[in-house]
C-alpha cells in the first residue's frame, strides 16, 4: 500500500492538478520532511492542491503548484519588487502587488540604526525579501537576506520595470536558467532582477538593449525552449537592421524628415521590429 501511494504521488509530478486533488500521502512518507510551496495545503496526512496548475518538485524536498496568474499571494522568503507608496516614522509602506500593502521597517537594512535611517522617495523601486506573511495581516519586508547581509537586496536605479504573470517570474528564477535568459546572456550584457510577485527589472547600457530584453522575456511565456532561442535570434537580427538603417540613412536627414521617416519604419505593415511579434512594443526613444 505504501509503495502504491508513493508511486502515485511521484506520477503526479509535472502533471496537471486541480483544486481538491490529493497529491501526496504523508502516511507513506514517515521518514521524509516535506516543504510545501504555493498552491498546496496540508489536511491531516493528505497534501492537496488549492489551485489548478502543474505539480512541480525540486530536490531535496519541495513541492508546489506552478500556474500563471497576475494575482500575487505573499509567502515567506519570496523575493519581490516593491514600490514605495508612503513613509512613516517607523516603516515604509510598499506596494508588492499583494492583497494588502506591505511594510518595510526602517531598521530592516544591513547595519540599520536610528542614526542612519534611509530616505526613499515615493515611487522608489526596491528589491526585497518577504519575512512575514500571515493571513489577515500586512506582509513584512526586509532589505537583507537571512544572515542580515544586504546581498542583492536594495534600491534598483535606472533601468525599466515591467509586469508579467507569477508563473513566468518563477520560471525566470529556475535553475538551470530558462532558455530565453540563457540565449540573451550569450549575446547581450544586462542586469536583471526578478520578483516572484510578477515584476521584472532590466537595465542595460543602451535603451534598445533594455527594450529587446524586456520584450523577449514577455514574448517567451507561451513558447517552448527551442522557440525561445529562435525568437531571441530573430529579435537580435531585426534590431541590428533597425540600428544599421538609422545609422546609414537617417543621420543625414533634416529634422522634419526624420520625424516622418521613423514612424513609417516602426509602425509600417512590414516593419522589421514588429513583423511576427504582435506583443513587441515600439521603442519610445525613437519616436
At 217-235, the pLDDT tens digits run 999 988 988 999 999 999 9
Q: 79 or 176, which is more confident?
A: 79
pLDDT single digits (tens) 34-81: 888 778 888 888 889 988 888 888 778 888 888 877 788 898 999 999
What confidence score (pLDDT) does residue 245 get? 56
Would you state the cell numbers that stand for residue 67, as one nine-digit string? 500556474
pLDDT of 145 over the 60 cut: yes
pLDDT single digits (tens) 181-220: 999 999 999 999 999 999 999 999 989 899 999 999 999 9
Query: If we measure between CA atoms, which residue out of 197, 224, 207 comes closest to residue 282?
Result: 207
Return all residues near 238 (Cβ < 8 A) that are at least 6 apart.
272, 273, 275
Radius of gyration, alpha carbons of the chain: 23
What confidence score (pLDDT) does residue 35 get? 83
Average pLDDT, the chain: 79
pLDDT of 272 over the 60 cut: no
In terms of phi and psi (left: phi > 0; alpha: psi -120 to 50; beta: otherwise), the region of 32 is: beta
Please report which confidence band the pLDDT of residue 279 belongs to, taking 50, 70 and 90 as the band edges. very low
Please report which confidence band the pLDDT of residue 248 belongs to, taking 50, 70 and 90 as the band edges. low
Between helix 225-245 and helix 207-219 the angle, nearest 10°, is 150
Please report which confidence band the pLDDT of residue 3 belongs to, taking 50, 70 and 90 as the band edges. very low
- Percent of the chain having pLDDT more than 90? 41
Query: If we measure between CA atoms, which residue out of 32, 33, 37 comes closest to residue 13?
Result: 37
Domains and CATH numbers, the chain: 2-66 (2.40.50.100), 79-157 (2.40.50.140), 162-286 (3.30.1370.10)
Q: Are 165 and 70 in contact (CB under 8 A)?
A: yes
pLDDT of 261 over the 60 cut: no
Return all residues near 201 (Cβ < 8 A) that are at least 6 apart.
81, 125, 127, 156, 159, 160, 161, 192, 193, 194
Q: Are 128 and 92 in contact (CB under 8 A)?
A: no
What confidence score (pLDDT) does residue 268 get? 30
Minimum mean pLDDT among 124-128, 187-191, 240-244: which range?
240-244
Q: Are 53 and 39 in contact (CB under 8 A)?
A: yes
Amino acid at each position: 500500500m505504501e509503495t502504491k501511494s508513493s508511486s502515485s504521488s511521484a506520477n503526479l509530478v509535472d502533471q496537471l492538478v486541480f483544486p481538491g486533488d490529493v497529491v501526496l500521502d504523508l502516511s507513506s512518507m514517515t521518514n521524509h520532511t516535506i516543504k510545501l510551496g504555493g498552491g498546496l495545503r496540508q489536511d491531516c496526512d493528505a497534501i492537496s492542491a488549492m489551485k489548478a496548475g502543474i505539480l512541480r518538485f525540486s530536490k531535496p524536498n519541495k513541492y508546489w503548484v506552478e500556474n500563471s496568474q497576475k494575482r500575487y499571494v505573499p509567502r515567506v522568503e519570496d523575493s519581490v519588487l516593491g514600490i514605495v507608496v508612503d513613509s512613516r516614522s517607523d516603516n515604509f509602506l510598499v506596494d508588492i502587488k499583494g492583497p494588502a500593502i506591505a511594510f518595510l521597517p526602517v531598521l530592516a537594512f544591513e547595519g540599520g540604526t536610528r542614526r542612519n535611517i534611509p530616505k526613499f522617495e515615493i515611487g522608489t523601486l526596491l528589491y526585497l525579501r518577504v519575512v512575514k506573511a500571515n493571513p489577515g495581516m500586512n506582509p513584512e519586508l526586509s532589505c537583507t537576506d537571512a544572515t542580515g547581509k544586504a546581498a542583492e537586496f536594495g534600491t534598483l536605479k535606472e533601468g525599466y520595470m515591467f509586469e508579467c504573470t507569477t508563473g513566468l517570474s518563477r520560471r525566470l528564477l529556475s535553475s538551470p536558467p530558462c532558455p530565453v535568459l540563457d540565449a540573451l546572456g550569450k549575446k547581450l550584457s544586462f542586469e536583471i532582477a526578478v520578483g516572484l510577485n510578477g515584476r521584472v527589472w532590466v537595465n542595460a547600457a543602451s535603451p534598445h538593449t533594455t527594450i529587446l530584453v524586456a520584450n523577449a522575456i514577455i514574448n517567451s511565456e507561451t513558447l517552448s525552449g527551442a522557440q525561445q532561442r529562435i525568437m531571441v535570434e530573430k529579435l537580435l537580427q531585426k534590431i541590428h537592421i533597425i540600428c544599421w538603417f538609422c545609422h546609414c540613412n537617417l543621420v543625414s536627414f533634416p529634422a522634419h524628415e526624420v520625424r516622418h521617416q521613423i514612424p513609417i519604419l516602426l509602425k509600417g505593415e512590414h516593419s522589421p521590429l514588429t513583423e511576427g511579434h504582435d506583443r513587441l512594443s515600439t521603442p519610445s526613444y525613437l519616436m
